[in-house]
Amino acid sequence: MEHAPFPPDLIELQADWQLTYAALTASRPVHTSALRRRLQPLSGRLQFHPYWSGPGRTPAARVELRRQARALGERP
């Protein structure tokens, strides 16, 4: 099933979430409390983003969002 294109703010939000989570799960994380506090509102904003009330409510769309966010983070 084809999904609607993701808005840029949603991709950036997912990339920020992934970077924060990676820092939290690092072998020796620093400032874990601050990272957890940052992850909570990011998770809420991701979950309740207006995009998900439209045509993109499939698990495949969430996987594709994570893939695009990773690609955004890999750019120089």
Please report whether residue 1 resides in a domain. Answer: no
Structural domain containing residue 58: 8-24+32-74
> Do the domain assignments include residue 36?
yes
Single pTM value for the model: 0.85
- With respect to residue 18, please indicate whether it lies within any of the assigned structural domains: yes
Q: Whole-angstrom Cα distance, residue 25 to residue 53?
A: 30
* Amino acid 75: pLDDT: 61
How many structural domains does the chain have?
Answer: 1
pLDDT, tens digit (0-9, with 9 covering 90-100), for 7-21: 999 999 999 999 999
> Tens digits of per-residue pLDDT, 21-74?
999 999 888 889 999 999 999 999 999 999 998 877 788 899 999 999 999 877
